[in-house]
Structure 1
Amino acid sequence: MNQFCIVIPNYNHTHAIATVILELNALKLPIIMVDDGSCDDAKQVFASLQQQYDDLTVLTHTENQGKGGAVQTGLLYAHEHGFSHAIQVDADGQHSLDDIAKLIDLSNNEPNNVISGCPIYDSSVPKHRYLSRYITHFWVWVETLSFDIVDSMCGFRVYPLTAVKQLMAKQALGKRMDFDIEILVRLYWQGVKVTFLPTQVIYPENGVSHFRALHDNLGISWLHTRLFFGMLLRSPLLIWRKVVG
C-alpha cells in the first residue's frame, strides 16, 4: 500500500500559503513544509499554520539553501518517516491542486515511475521564462538521448522515494533552480520512467519569484554541461535501453 505525503519548499512565500495549505488539507495527507531560511515575519505565518493544522509539519533551515535544498530535506524526511511517495508542490499557488488526485491515481498504477505535471500555461507566464524552458527541453533530450522527458522544470511531481534515496545516497544534487532538471535526468539514467499529466500552471499576479536571472541561468547552464558529459559516459547503456525497449 503506497503511503503519500506532500512536500512544499518555502522561502518567504506568505501571500498564498494559507490558501494552499487549506486546499491541501482537504486531501487528508501529511504535509511537510520546509522553511528555507525565511524571514521572521514568514516564520510567524508558518508557526501559526502549524498550530492550525495537525497534519502540517514545518522543518526549518537556519540558512537559505535554495529550492532544491529544501525539497531534498523534505524528501529525505518523508523517506525516513515511512512514506513511499512524496508529492512536490510549490508554495506560491502556481499549481492546480485539484490535479493531485490524478497524480496519485497515476502513481498507484505506476508506483515505480516519477509522475510529473506537464504545464499548460495561460497568458500570465512571462515570455522569457516560457522560451527558456524550450532551451532546457532541448538539452534534456540530448542528455537522455530520448524525447521521453516532455518537461523537466515543472515542480509539481510525485517521487518514488526509494529510487530518490538511492540516487541521493550516491550523487550530490543541485540545491537551487537546477534541482528539478537534474533529479529527473539522473533518475531517468537510473532507469526510472517518467509519466506526464497535463496540468494548468499560472503565475499569480502578486506572486514572488526567487529565480535569479544571472545566477540561476548560469547554474542551469553549468548543470547541462555536466549532464552532457555524463550522457557521453552512459550513452552505450542509454542506446541499448532504447534498442531493447
Structure 2
Amino acid sequence: MREVAFSPVVVIPVYDHEHAIGAVVQGVLASGLPCLLVDDGSHDGCAQALRALAAQHPGQVALHRLEINQGKGGAMLAGFAQAAQRGYSHVLQIDADGQHTTGDIPVFVALAQAHPDAVICGIPAYDASVPRARLYGRYATHIWVWINTLSLQIRDSMCGFRVYPLAPVNRLAAEETIGRRMDFDTEVLVRLFWRGVQVISQPTRVTYPSDGVSHFDVWRDNVRISCMHTRLFFGMLPRAPRLLWRRLAGRPA
C-alpha cells in the first residue's frame, strides 16, 4: 500500500460564531496551514461572514456548508469526509469560539508528524474565565473514560483541540455510529482507543469563550453525555479481556 504523505488541514466546525471566527482563522493561517470551515447550518449573519472569509483567502480557506444544523460531531464528520476527498492525511480540529490557543498549532502538528498514527489531544490549562461548574463537571467524564478504556492514557477527552489521522477516523465513522453533538469528542476518542489508536496528550491554554457564545445545552447535552457513557460502558465489557491484555503486555494503545 502506498504511504500517504503527511498533509494536515485545520477543520473548524462553526455554528453562529461570526464574532470570533475571523480571529481564529487569522491564527490558523499564521501557522501556515490550510483551513476548512464547516458551516453547521449557521444563521445568515454567520453564514455571510464565513463566505467572506473564504473569499478573502482563496486557496487557504475553504468553506463547506451544511444546510441543516448537525451538531459539532456531525460537522466534524462532514469535515473529515471533505478532508479525505481533498487528499489530506490529518485533520487538526479547533473550536470556532476562540477558546483555543492557535499559537499552539505548530506544536500539535509537529507531534502528529512524529506520531502519524496517533491522535494528539489537548489537555486544557484553564484561566480564570472557566465556569467552576463546567470545570468540576469534566471530572465525571474523565472517570467514566478511564473506566471505559481500562486505562489512564486518555487524560482529557473533552478538549476540542486535537489532531486526528484521517484513515482510522473515517473507517470508524463508516463502521460505527458516533454521537453527533456534544457527546462526539469523548465518544470518538474512546472508540479509536478501543481500535488500538494511540492517544498522546499535549497541554494547551484554554479560555472561555472569546465571543461569549456557548452552544452547550446544560440539560440535553448532559443527558446525551450520560447516555454515551452508558453505551460505552456496555461496549467496554466484551472488550475488557483485550484491553486488560493490552495493559498487561505493556503495549501502547
Q: Into which bin does the TM-score normalised by the smaller protein fall?
A: over 0.9
CA contact (8 A) 2:112 2:163 kept: yes
- Report the equivalent of 1:41: 45
- Report the equivalent of 1:81: 86
Figure out how many residues of one structure are paired with residues of the other and give that number. Answer: 245
AA in 2 matched with 1:196: S
AA in 2 matched with 1:189: W
TM-score w.r.t. length of structure 2: 0.95
- Report the equivalent of 1:3: 7
Show CA shifts across 1:26-66 (max 9, x none): 22222111100110111111111111011111111111110
Match runs of 1:128-167 below 5 Å:
128-167=133-172
Partner Cα separation in structure 2 for residue 241 and residue 175 of structure 1: 29
**Structure 1 outlier segments of 4+, above 4 Å:** none
Determine if the alignment matches structure 1 residue 186 to structure 2 residue 214: no
- Report the equivalent of 2:240: 235
CA contact (8 A) 1:32 1:59 kept: yes
Partner Cα separation in structure 1 for residue 209 and residue 9 of structure 2: 25
- Report the equivalent of 2:97: 92
Q: Any idea what SS the aligned residue of 1:92 has?
A: coil
Consecutive unaligned residues of structure 1, counting only runs of 5 or more, are none
Partner Cα separation in structure 2 for residue 39 and residue 78 of structure 1: 24
Partner Cα separation in structure 1 for residue 97 and residue 212 of structure 2: 6
Partner Cα separation in structure 1 for residue 72 and residue 131 of structure 2: 20
* CA RMSD of superposed structures (Å): 0.9
CA contact (8 A) 2:94 2:162 kept: yes
- Report the equivalent of 2:215: 210
How far apart are residue 81 of structure 1 and its match? 1.5
How far apart are residue 205 of structure 1 and its match? 5.3
TM-score w.r.t. length of structure 1: 0.98
Consecutive unaligned residues of structure 2, counting only runs of 5 or more, are none
Partner Cα separation in structure 2 for residue 22 and residue 97 of structure 1: 9
- Select 1:53's aligned residue among 48, 52, 57: 57
Partner Cα separation in structure 2 for residue 118 and residue 110 of structure 1: 17
CA contact (8 A) 2:97 2:210 kept: no
Partner Cα separation in structure 2 for residue 4 and residue 74 of structure 1: 13
Identity, % of aligned positions: 50
Partner Cα separation in structure 1 for residue 211 and residue 45 of structure 2: 18
